[in-house]
Structure 1
Amino acid sequence: MPNVKFHASRRTLTSHAGLSIIGQCIEIAGVDSIDGRFPTTLGMRNSDVLKSYLGLLCLGMSDYDAIENFRSDKPFKQLLTLQKVPSTATLRQRLEKLAANDLQARIAAWSTTLLSLAEVPITAEKGHVCLDIDTFVMDNSNSSKEGVSRTYQKVDGYTPIAAYLGNEGWCLGLELRPGKQHTMKESNAFLERVMPRARGLTEQPILLREDSGFDSKAHLALIEQHCQAFADDGRQLDYIVKWNPRDSAKADQDTWRAVAADYWEELRPGKRQALWVQSVSITVDQVEHVVKRVMRLVERTADRDGQLLLEPEYELEGWWTSLDEAPEAVIQRYKAHATHEQFHSEIKTDLDLERLPSGKFATNDLILHLAQLAYNILRLMGQLGMTGELSPVRHPAKRRRIRTVLQELVHRAALVIHRARQIILDFGQDIGRMAVLNTLRARLRYPRESPC
């Protein structure tokens, strides 16, 4: 065993050198602008409270008590440009107070401002930038938090709704919902808030993708209205929404088999499918919309091992769409919608938000909006600093998981040196990470005004 000794010196060290980039992104987003609307009270700026909690989230922590470890951490205060670091009690009380002032829309605007001013890369897939909207479950079992109730996954918790843009997965909306709330409830209002953000970030054609929980006439009519508004501006918006076959449709198998009679094709012995396109008329508020629906009926008379079934099994699926493509192409485009499940996972695990810290619904909703900004900051660091030639050695990928960004760029040790009114981070022999962070800092340096 080596002879290890411990020694303390007067040098200032930090294990979170990536906070230098996080602080810069928070400045770009314009978080300091909140002090103009809510002046300093009791010696603590509201912007310091929000930036402190954003710093915690960007370090993968969400618990209020975690702030105590940074109250005497000088680099944490300096790199996030804080006047003071709040205590646990102050952080909790001030977030609850701010949540009562409906700051959610303002925080969402900060996130959009960051993505816009940083000119983030937004990658299209097959000619369309995908906008994926879906709900997911946050398990908060064995708690008495406000809004916790039975979810569709048979656990007690919340079912927030989120929207992600592009192959990179930029988060354009993240809002808390009670666990028992149906997917479709208030989703039209959510779409109305998200669509202008997507429209302002890219000029490319947009493809909206949603699962069967969003299958309603009113929602389809609203999407058709947005498609028309895009067309009036010389732009393109398409959509794919999974069809939800109600009980009556499932029961009427004879009718579906009769329609599919001319479209059967054998996939393997004992399995065949039929693909066709229908035009369906829906009327909402006395306005008629003709919507295309891609249908697929699968018949199985034997399993994959060749074992014959006693009776044929039928599987009926459908997709509402505005795409003028073959049914196979529409189905393949929808399959890629499942990628957003990874983004849900990163919010719940990498940002440590599976179990929300507050007992009050409004405060937890505010925290999720702050998590949207923290998520985009870390995603930005990953896309600009970990996918190019300067990236630390990793396997090739379109994007890096937030946990990887935390490990490679945020949790990096450095010696903090103060010289000539400058803060210098000395990385020792870790030249690779220093080059990445230095490139990020130069890439994000813009002259800017307060966005709000």
Structure 2
Amino acid sequence: MPNIKFRASRRTLTSHAGLSIIGQCFEIAGVDSIDSRFPTTLGMRTSDVIKSYLGLLCLGMSDYDAVENFRRDKPFQQLLTLQKVPSAATLRQRLEKLAANDLQARTATWSTTLLSLIEAPITAETTHVCLDIDTFVMDNSNSKKEGVSRTYQKVDGYTPIAAYLGNEGWCLGLELRPGKQHTMKESNAFLERVLPRAQCLTKQPILLREDSGFDSQAHLALLEQQRQVFADEGRRLDYVVKWNPRGSATADRDTWLAVAADYWEELRPGKRQALWTQAVSIHDDNKTEYVVQRVMRLVERTADRDGQLLLEPDYELEGWWTSLDEAPEAVIKRYQAHATHEQFHSEIKTDLDLERLPSGKFATNDLILHLAQLAYNILRLMGQLGMTGELSPVRHPAKRRRLRTVLQELVHRAALVIHKARQIILDFGQDIGRMTVLKTLRSRLRYPRGTPC
């Protein structure tokens, strides 16, 4: 075993060199402008409180007490341009006060400002840029936090709603909801907040994708109205929403079988399917009528995949509301790609350490999720600009990198901090690869090229 000795010196070291990029993103997003809206006489700027907690989230930490490790960490303060780093108690108290003053409405614009100024890459899937909206469960069992209740996954927690744009998964909306709240409740208002952000970030046609929890006549009517608004502006909006049969699949089986009689095709011995499109009339709250297309698929199984015959035929009926003028197979394939957003939910819950929210107050936890939206987009931006293509460290090729990978490869990097000629120099030693990536990112972010939303 080698003879290992431990020694301390006066040199300043940091294990989070990636904060240099994160602090730059805070500046571009306009986080400092919050001081004019929420001034304070308590000796610490509001922006210092917000940026300190955002810094924790960008390091994969969400607990208030984690900030205590950075109170004497000079690089943390300097790289994020903080005057002071708050204590855990101050952080908790100030976030609760800001949540009560509805800071959430202000934070929602930071992400769109950052993404628009940087001209973040937004990749379309075939002809449309996809906008995925869905709810997910955050398990906060065995807690007495405000708003925690029984969720659709049979655990106690929250069911926040989120919206992701493009194949990169930029988060355009992340709002907290009580666990028992139905998916459709307040979703129309959420959609009306998110669509202008998506419209600002891309000029390409937008395809909205949602699951069966959003199947309601009022919601479909709103989508048709929004399509007309887009059309009046020379834009295009389409949607694919999973149909919720609500018991009609079993009750009207004979009717569905009669309709499918002309569309059957055999997929394998013992399995066949029928695909067709039908027009359905719906009405909004004002009794206005809309005609919406619905793609239907009926699958009949008389034998399983191993050839074992079933006692009775097994039927599976599915449907998708859509405005796309495409073949049923193409519509179904577009919707199947909607499942990718589940990974984005997972990254928020695990990589940002937000499965169990830190506060006992609902409004504060809602504010924390709004801040997490910006932290998520910053890490995603670092991954897309610095970890794909030729600059990427040695890893398998990918269209995007998980937030945990960005944290490991770019954020949690050790460096020697040198102060010289009014500059801060980060010395990476022989780690030339990561230094090149971070240097290129800083140069890329120095002069924003786009226009703010």
User: Would you call these one fold, judging by a TM-score over 0.5?
Assistant: yes
Per-residue CA deviations over 1:181-238 (Å, capped at 9, x if unaligned) read 0000000000000000000000001000000000000000001111111111111111
Aligned pair 1:127/2:127, yes or no? Answer: yes
> How far off is 1:103 after superposition?
1.2
Following TM superposition, by how much is the alpha carbon of 1:286 offset from its aligned partner in structure 2, in angstroms?
A: 2.0
Matched, 1:388 2:393: no
Alignment-mate amino acid for residue 107 of structure 2:
I
Task: Give the Å deviation of 1:447.
Answer: 6.2
Q: Deviations over 1:401-429 (max 9, x none)?
A: 00000000000000000011110000000
- Provide the C-alpha distance between the structure 2 equivalents of 1:450 and 1:253, rounded to a whole number of angstroms: 54
Distance 1:388 1:422 in 2: 30
Question: Are the structure 2 counterparts of residues 448 and 41 from structure 1 closer, same or farther at C-alpha, using a change threshold of 3 Å?
Answer: farther
2:366 is matched with 365
Task: For 1:283 and 1:45, locate their aligned partners in 2 and report how far apart those are by CA, in whole Å.
Answer: 51
CA contact (8 A) 2:117 2:451 kept: no
Looking at structure 2, the residues matched to 59 and 124 of structure 1 have their Cα atoms a distance apart, in angstroms, of 30
Listed one character per residue, the Cα deviations across residues 1-31 of structure 1 (whole Å, up to 9, x for unaligned) are 1111011000000000000000000110000
Greater Cα offset, 242-251 or 171-180? 242-251
Residue type at the aligned position of 1:414: A
Give the aligned partner of residue 145 of structure 2: 145
**Once structures 1 and 2 are overlaid, which stretch shifts more, 100-109 or 371-380?**
100-109
RMSD: 1.3
Partners of 1:294 and 1:41 in 2: CA distance:
60
Q: CA deviation at 1:432?
A: 0.4
- The aligned residue for residue 434 of structure 1 is 435
State the match for 1:114 in structure 2: 114
Shift of 1:141: 0.2
- Once the two structures are superposed, residues 283-338 of structure 1 have per-residue CA deviations (whole angstroms, 9 ceiling, x without a partner) of 11121100000000000000011010000010000000000100000000000000
Decide whether the 8 Å contact of 1:28 with 1:448 is kept in 2. no
CA contact (8 A) 2:116 2:452 kept: no
Shift in CA distance, 447/171, structure 1 to aligned 2, threshold 3 Å: closer
- Matched letter for residue 419 of structure 1: K
Letter in 1 for 2:373: Q
SS in 2 for 1:424: strand
Contact 2:114–2:452 (8 Å) recurs in 1: no
SS class of match (2:296):
strand
- The Cα of 1:42 is off from its aligned counterpart by 1.1
Per-residue deviation, residues 219-270 of structure 1 (Å, max 9, x unmatched): 0000111111111111111100000001234311000000000000000000
Q: Which amino acid aligns with 1:423?
A: I
Match in the other structure for 1:11: 11
8 Å Cα contact 2:163/2:194 also seen in 1: yes
Distance in 2 separating the partners of 1:131 and 1:4: 54
Mapped to 2, the partners of 1:323 and 1:280 lie a distance apart of 14
Moved over 4 A (4+): 447-452
Partner of 1:289: 290
Query: 1:308 and 1:34 mapped to 2: Cα distance?
Result: 67
1:415–1:425: 8 Å Cα contact kept in structure 2? Answer: yes
Contact 2:117 2:450 in 1 (8 A): no
Partner of 2:156: 156
Judge conservation of contact 2:119–2:449 (CA < 8 Å) in 1. no
1:86 aligns with 2:86: yes
The separation in 2 between residues aligned to 1:139 and 1:112, in whole angstroms, is: 29
After superposition, residues 159-170 of structure 1 pair within 5 angstroms as 159-170=159-170
The one-letter amino acid paired with 2:138 is: M
Instruction: Name the CA distance, whole Å, in 2 between partners of 1:261 and 1:183.
Output: 35
Q: CA deviation at 1:446?
A: 2.1
Partner of 2:207: 207
Secondary structure, in 3 states, of the residue corresponding to 2:231? Answer: helix
2 CA distance for matches of 1:98 and 1:403? 29
Please give the alpha-carbon distance, in whole angstroms, between the structure 1 residues aligned to 2:377 and 2:241: 26
Does residue 1:313 correspond to 2:314, yes or no? Answer: yes
Matched, 1:179 2:175: no
1:262–1:124 Cα change, 3 Å: same
Alpha-carbon distance between aligned partners in 1 of 2:452 and 2:290, rounded to the nearest angstrom: 39
Assess if the C-alpha contact under 8 Å between 1:33 and 1:450 holds in 2.
no
Give aligned-pair identity as a percent.
88
- Which residue identity lines up with residue 268 of structure 2 in the other structure? R
1:55 is matched with which residue? 55
Counterpart of 2:62, as a letter, is S
CA contact (8 A) 1:30 1:451 kept: no
1:60-95 per-residue CA deviation (whole Å, 9 max, x = no partner) reads 000000000000000000000000000000000000
Describe how 1:315-354 pairs up with structure 2 within 5 A: 315-354=316-355
SS in 2 for 1:257: helix
Aligned residue number for residue 278 of structure 2:
278
- For 1:178, the aligned partner's letter is P
| 1:417 aligned onto 2:415 | no
Instruction: Single out whichever of 284-293 and 68-77 deviates more from structure 2.
Output: 284-293
TM-score (norm 2): 0.98
AA of the residue aligned to 1:18? G
Q: What is the match of residue 375 of structure 1?
A: 376
Alignment of 1:93-112 (within 5 A): 93-112=93-112
Which residue does the alignment assign to 1:402? 403
Provide the rounded CA distance (Å) in 2 between the counterparts of 1:448 and 1:70.
33
Output the CA distance in 1 between the equivalents of 2:225 and 2:431: 54
Q: Give the AA of the match of 1:230.
A: F
How big is each residue's C-alpha offset from its partner over 1:370-421, in whole Å with a ceiling of 9 and x where there is no partner?
0000000000000000002011000000000000000000000000000111
**How far 1:172 sits from its partner (Å)?**
0.2
Q: Cα offset for 1:40?
A: 2.5
Give the 3-state SS of the residue equivalent to 1:315 in structure 2: strand
Report if the CA contact (8 A) 1:137-1:157 is conserved. yes
Query: Normalised by the size of structure 1, how large is the TM-score?
Result: 0.99
Q: Distance in 2 between matches of 1:391 and 1:318?
A: 41
Relative distance call for 1:105 and 1:250 in structure 2 (3 A) is: farther
CA distance in 1, matches of 2:116, 2:452: 11
- Secondary structure of the corresponding residue to residue 293 of structure 1: strand
3-state SS of 2:389 partner: coil
Structure 2: state its 5+ residue gaps. Answer: none
Return the alpha-carbon distance in structure 1 between the equivalents of residues 348 and 250 of structure 2. Answer: 36
Residues 389 and 447 of structure 1, relative CA distance in 2, 3 Å threshold: closer
How has the CA–CA distance of structure 1 residues 113 and 180 changed in structure 2, closer, same or farther, with 3 Å as cutoff?
same
Q: Does the aligned pair in 2 maintain the 1:299–1:313 contact within 8 Å?
A: yes
- What code does the residue aligned with 1:63 have? D
Please say if residues 29 and 451 of structure 1, whose CA atoms lie closer than 8 Å, have aligned partners that are also in contact. no
